[in-house]
Structure 1
Amino acid sequence: MIRNKILPLCLLICIHWVADAQTPVPVKRLLQSPYMRGASFSLIVRDVQEGKTVYSYDTDRLQSPASVLKTVATATALEILGEDYRYPTTLEYNGTLKDGTLQGNLHIKGSGDPSLGSSHFAPEQNKFLATWIAALQKAGIRHVTGSVISDESIFDTEGASIKWLREDMGNYYAPGSYGLSVFDNMYKLSLQTGAAGTRPVLKGTEPDIPFIRFKNYLKAAPVSSDSAYIIGAPLDDVRYLYGVLPANREAYVLKGDIPDPALYLARYLTTQLQQKGIRVDGAPSCYRIEAEENRWKKGERQEIVTTYSPTLREIASVCNHVSHNLYADALLKTVGLQYKPRRNEVVSSFGRGVRVVKEYWEKKGLNVFPLRMNDGSGLAPADKVSAGFMGELLVYMATESAVSDAFIASLPQAGVEGSVRNFLKGSKLQGKARLKSGGITGVRSYAGYITKDGKTYAVAVFSNNYSCPMSQMTRLLEQLLLQLF
Structure 2
Amino acid sequence: MLTFCCPSLRRPVAALVFFAACLPLSAAGQAPYSESAAAEELTETISQTLDTEPFEGAYWGVHIVNLRSGTVLYSKNAQSNFVPASNVKLLTTAAALDQLTADYRFRTRVYADGPIEDGTLKGNLIVRGSGDPTIGGYEQRDDPTRVFRQWADSLKALGITHISGNIIGDDNRMDDTPLGHGWSWSDISYAYAAEIGGLVFNENTVDLHVLGQEVGQPAKITWEPFDTDYVNVVNRSRTIPWRTEDDEKYQRIMGTNTIHVRTKVHPNREETESITITNPTLYFVHVLREVLLREGISVGGTPADLDETATTVQYDSDLVRPVASYTSKPLRQIVRTLNHESQNLYAEQILRTLAVEVPPQTTEDLKPGSSALGVKSVRKTLAAARVDTSRIQLVDGSGLSRQNLVRPQSIVRLLQYMWTHPAPAASSAFYDSLPKGGQEGTLEYRFQGNAPAHANVRAKTGTLSNTSSLSGYVTSERGTPLAFSIFCNHHLAEGNQVRSAQDVLVNALARLPL
Q: TM-score higher than 0.5 here?
A: yes
Q: After the TM superposition, which residues 343-358 of structure 1 pair with which residues of structure 2 at under 5 Å, given as runs? A: 345-347=365-367, 349-358=370-379
Aligned to 1:368: 389
Query: Which TM-score applies when normalising by structure 2?
Result: 0.83
Identity %: 26
Question: What's the C-alpha RMSD, in Å, of the aligned pairs?
Answer: 2.6
Counterpart among 43, 55, 58 of residue 39 in structure 1: 58
Count of aligned residue pairs for this structure pair: 459
Q: One-letter code of the match for 2:468?
A: R
Aligned equivalents of 2:268, 2:375: Cα separation in 1? 45
1:158 paired residue number: 177
Out of 194, 218, 221, the residue aligned to residue 203 of structure 1 is: 221
Aligned to 1:114, the other structure's residue is in SS state coil
Q: Which residue number corresponds to residue 457 of structure 2?
A: 433
Return the letter of the residue paired with 1:339: P
Question: What is the one-letter code of the residue matched to 1:69?
Answer: V
CA contact (8 A) 2:231 2:258 kept: yes
Which structure 2 residue ranges, 5 or more long, are not aligned?
1-38
- Distance across 2 between alignment mates of 1:86 and 1:180: 15
Residue 418 of structure 1 corresponds to 441
Structure 2 contact 211–265 (Cα < 8 Å) conserved: no
Instruction: Return the match for 1:226 from 237, 243, 247.
Output: 247
Change beyond 3 A, Cα 1:277–1:434: same
Distance 1:98 1:159, change over 3 A: same
Query: What amino acid is aligned across from residue 301 of structure 2 in structure 1?
Result: G
1:372 CA displacement: 1.7
Whether the 8 Å CA contact 1:163–1:380 is kept in 2: the answer is: yes
The AA in structure 2 aligned to 1:437 is T
Unaligned runs of 5+ in 1: 1-19
Q: Deviations over 1:23-65 (max 9, x none)?
A: 7123223443222222111011111122221111110111111
Structure 2: how far apart are the matches of 1:175 and 1:288? 21
Q: Counterparts in 2 of 1:24-423, with a 5 A limit? A: 24-120=43-139, 127-193=146-212, 200-201=218-219, 203-207=221-225, 208-215=227-234, 223=244, 226-233=247-254, 236-241=256-261, 244-249=263-268, 251-290=270-309, 295-299=310-314, 300=317, 301-337=320-356, 338-339=358-359, 345-347=365-367, 349-402=370-423, 403-423=426-446
Instruction: Determine the C-alpha separation between the residues in 2 that align with 1:366 and 1:342.
Output: 19
Distance 1:46 1:376 in 2: 25
> How far off is 1:475 after superposition?
1.1
- Which of these residues, 456, 460, 464, is aligned with residue 481 of structure 2? 456
C-alpha separation between the residues in 1 aligned to 2:57 and 2:363?
Answer: 45
Aligned to 2:192, the other structure's residue is in SS state coil
Distance in structure 1 (CA, Å) of the matches to 2:141 and 2:401: 31
Task: Output the CA distance in 2 between the equivalents of 1:284 and 1:125.
Answer: 19
Amino acid at match of 1:356: S
Paired with 1:268 and 1:122, the residues of 2 have a C-alpha distance of: 15
What is the deviation of 1:202?
5.3
Distance 1:189 1:251 in 2: 10
| 2:465 partner amino acid | T
Report the alpha carbon displacement of residue 157 of structure 1 after superposing the two structures with TM.
Answer: 2.0
Given that 1:199 and 1:217 are in contact with CA atoms closer than 8 Å, whether structure 2 keeps it comes out as no
Q: Distance in 2 between matches of 1:406 and 1:418?
A: 16
Does 1:444 find its partner at 2:463? Answer: no
Residues 113 and 321 of structure 2 are in contact (CA less than 8 Å); yes or no, is this contact kept in structure 1? yes
Secondary structure, counterpart of 1:24 in structure 2: helix
> Tell me, what secondary structure is at the counterpart of 1:167?
helix
- Between stretches 102-111 and 356-365, larger displacement belongs to 356-365
How many Å separate the matches in 1 of 2:81 and 2:91? Answer: 15
**How far 1:454 moved relative to its partner?**
1.4
- Cα distance in 2 for partners of 1:159, 1:199 equals 37
